[in-house]
A and B are shown apart, each in its own frame.
Chain A
Amino acid sequence: MKNLVEIKNVNKTFAIEGRSAASILENISINIQEGEFLAILGPSGSGKSTLLRIIAGLIPASSGTVSYLGSPIEGVNPGVAMVFQSFALFPWLSVLENVMLGLEDKNLTKAEKQAKALQVIDIVGLDGFENAYPKELSGGMRQRVGIGRALVSEPDVLLMDEAFSALDVLTAENLRRDLLELWLDKKIPTKAIILVTHGIEEAVYMADRAIILSKSPAEIVKDVKITIPRWRDKKSPEFLSIVDEIYSFMTKKKITALPPALPQLKKLTQLPQVSAGALTGFLELLEDLNEKTDLYKLASRFMMDIEDFFPLVELSTLLQFAQVVEGDIELTAEGIQFARATVLERKKLFSEQLLAHVPFVQQMITILESKSNKKMNIEFFEDLLARTFGDKTAQSQMALLISWERYAELVEYDQNKEQVYLESTV
Chain B
Amino acid sequence: MALFTANISKRKFSIIDFFILAFIFILFYTILKLGAGMSIPFSPKQQPAISLEPNMLPYYAGRSLLRMFIAFGASLIFTFIYGYIAAKNKFAQKILIPLLDILQSVPVLGFLSVTIVAFMAFFPGSLLGVECASIFAIFTGQAWNMTFSFYHSLVTTPKDLQEAATILHLNWWQKLIKLELPVAMIGLVWNGMMSFGGGWFFLAASEAISVLGENIHLPGVGSFLAAAVEAGNMEAIYYSILTMLIMIILVDQLFWRPLVVWSQKFKIELSESSDMPSSYVYNLLQRSALIRLINEWVLNPLCKVFNCIFNQIAELSTAASLSMQSRTSIKGLPTIVPLCLTVGVLYLLAEPAQEAFAMLAAMEPRELFSILQLGFYTFIRVIIALLLGLIWTIPIGVKIGLTPKLSKIFQPVIQIAASFPANMLFPFITILFVKFHVDFQWGCIALMMLGTQWYILFNVIAGTSSIPNDLIEVSSIFNMKGWNKWKTLILPSIFPHLVTGLITASGGAWNASIVSELVSWHENDLVATGLGAYISQATTQGDWPKIVLGITVMCIFVVMINRFVWHRLYRLAEVKYHID
Q: Which residues of A contact B (CB under 8 A)?
A: 53, 56, 58, 75-76, 78, 80-82, 84-94, 97, 101-102, 104-105, 131, 134-135, 142, 149, 153
The winner among A85, A92, A105 for most chain B CB atoms within 10 A is A92
Known contacts A90-B164, A92-B3, A105-B174; 10 further A-B pairs (Cβ under 8 A)? A58-B163, A76-B167, A85-B160, A88-B160, A92-B182, A101-B170, A105-B169, A105-B171, A135-B269, A149-B168
Q: CB-CB < 8 A to B268: which residues of A?
A: 91
Min Cβ gap B450→A in Å is 40
Q: CB-CB < 8 A to B267: which residues of A?
A: 91
Q: CB-CB < 8 A to A142: which residues of B?
A: 270
Q: In the bound complex, how far is the Cα of B169 from the Cα of A153, in angstroms? A: 11
Q: Which residue of B lies closest to A84 (CB)?
A: B160
**Interface pair A80/B167, CB less than 8 Å apart:** yes
Q: In the bound complex, how far is the Cα of B265 from the Cα of A78, in angstroms? A: 32
Q: In the bound complex, how far is the Cα of B179 from the Cα of A131, in angstroms? A: 19
Min Cβ gap A191→B in Å is 17
Residues in B2-37 with C-beta less than 8 Å from chain A: 2-3, 7
Min Cβ gap B322→A in Å is 8
> Lowest 6 CB-CB distances: which A-B pairs, in order?
A88-B160, A88-B164, A105-B169, A86-B160, A135-B270, A82-B167
Q: CB-CB < 8 A to B174: which residues of A?
A: 104-105
**Interface pair B179/A90, CB less than 8 Å apart:** yes
Q: Which residue of A lies closest to B272 (CB)?
A: A135
Q: In the bound complex, how far is the Cα of B165 from the Cα of A149, in angstroms? A: 11
B166 within 8 A of A: yes
**Interface pair B7/A82, CB less than 8 Å apart:** no
Q: In the bound complex, how far is the Cα of B3 from the Cα of A92, in angstroms? A: 8
Q: CB-CB < 8 A to B271: which residues of A?
A: 135
Q: In the bound complex, how far is the Cα of B269 from the Cα of A86, in angstroms? A: 12
Q: CB-CB < 8 A to A102: which residues of B?
A: 168
Q: CB-CB < 8 A to B168: which residues of A?
A: 81, 101-102, 104-105, 149, 153
Q: Which residues of B contact A (CB under 8 A)?
A: 2-3, 7, 158, 160-161, 163-164, 166-171, 174, 178-179, 182, 265-272, 322
Q: Which residue of B lies closest to A78 (CB)?
A: B169
Known A93-B178, A97-B2; judge A88-B161 contact (CB<8 A): yes
Identify 21 residue pairs between A and B in the complex whose beta-carbon atoms are under 8 Å apart, listed by A's number: A53-B163, A56-B167, A58-B167, A75-B322, A76-B167, A76-B169, A84-B160, A84-B164, A88-B158, A88-B163, A90-B179, A91-B267, A91-B268, A92-B182, A101-B178, A104-B178, A105-B170, A105-B171, A135-B271, A142-B270, A153-B168
Q: In the bound complex, how far is the Cα of B170 from the Cα of A332, in angstroms? A: 57
Min Cβ gap B161→A in Å is 5
Q: CB-CB < 8 A to B163: which residues of A?
A: 53, 58, 82, 84, 88
Q: Which residue of B lies closest to A142 (CB)?
A: B270
**Interface pair A104/B167, CB less than 8 Å apart:** no
Q: CB-CB < 8 A to A92: which residues of B?
A: 3, 182, 265-266
Q: CB-CB < 8 A to B169: which residues of A?
A: 76, 78, 104-105
Min Cβ gap B532→A in Å is 43
Q: Which residue of A lies closest to B181 (CB)?
A: A92
Min Cβ gap B176→A in Å is 13
Q: In the bound complex, how far is the Cα of B318 from the Cα of A105, in angstroms? A: 13
Q: In the bound complex, how far is the Cα of B160 from the Cα of A142, in angstroms? A: 14
Min Cβ gap A136→B in Å is 8
Min Cβ gap B296→A in Å is 14
**Interface pair A90/B178, CB less than 8 Å apart:** yes
Q: In the bound complex, how far is the Cα of B170 from the Cα of A94, in angstroms? A: 18
Q: In the bound complex, how far is the Cα of B269 from the Cα of A97, in angstroms? A: 18
Q: CB-CB < 8 A to A82: which residues of B?
A: 163-164, 167
Q: In the bound complex, how far is the Cα of B158 from the Cα of A362, in angstroms? A: 43
Q: CB-CB < 8 A to A53: which residues of B?
A: 163
Q: CB-CB < 8 A to A131: which residues of B?
A: 7
Q: Which residue of B lies closest to A97 (CB)?
A: B2
Known A58-B163, A104-B174, A105-B169; judge A90-B270 contact (CB<8 A): no
Q: CB-CB < 8 A to B3: which residues of A?
A: 92
Q: CB-CB < 8 A to A90: which residues of B?
A: 161, 164, 178-179, 182
**Interface pair A81/B270, CB less than 8 Å apart:** no
Q: CB-CB < 8 A to A94: which residues of B?
A: 7
Min Cβ gap A148→B in Å is 12
Q: CB-CB < 8 A to A58: which residues of B?
A: 163, 166-167
Q: CB-CB < 8 A to B161: which residues of A?
A: 88, 90
Q: In the bound complex, how far is the Cα of B3 from the Cα of A94, in angstroms? A: 10
Q: In the bound complex, how far is the Cα of B6 from the Cα of A131, in angstroms? A: 11
Min Cβ gap A107→B in Å is 11
Min Cβ gap B382→A in Å is 34
Q: Which residue of A lies closest to B265 (CB)?
A: A92
Q: CB-CB < 8 A to B322: which residues of A?
A: 75
**Interface pair B270/A91, CB less than 8 Å apart:** yes
Q: In the bound complex, how far is the Cα of B271 from the Cα of A93, in angstroms? A: 15
Min Cβ gap A165→B in Å is 13
**Interface pair B270/A134, CB less than 8 Å apart:** yes
Q: Which residue of B lies closest to A103 (CB)?
A: B168
Q: CB-CB < 8 A to A56: which residues of B?
A: 167
Min Cβ gap A75→B in Å is 8
Q: In the bound complex, how far is the Cα of B159 from the Cα of A86, in angstroms? A: 10
Q: CB-CB < 8 A to A87: which residues of B?
A: 160
Min Cβ gap A118→B in Å is 15
Min Cβ gap A81→B in Å is 7
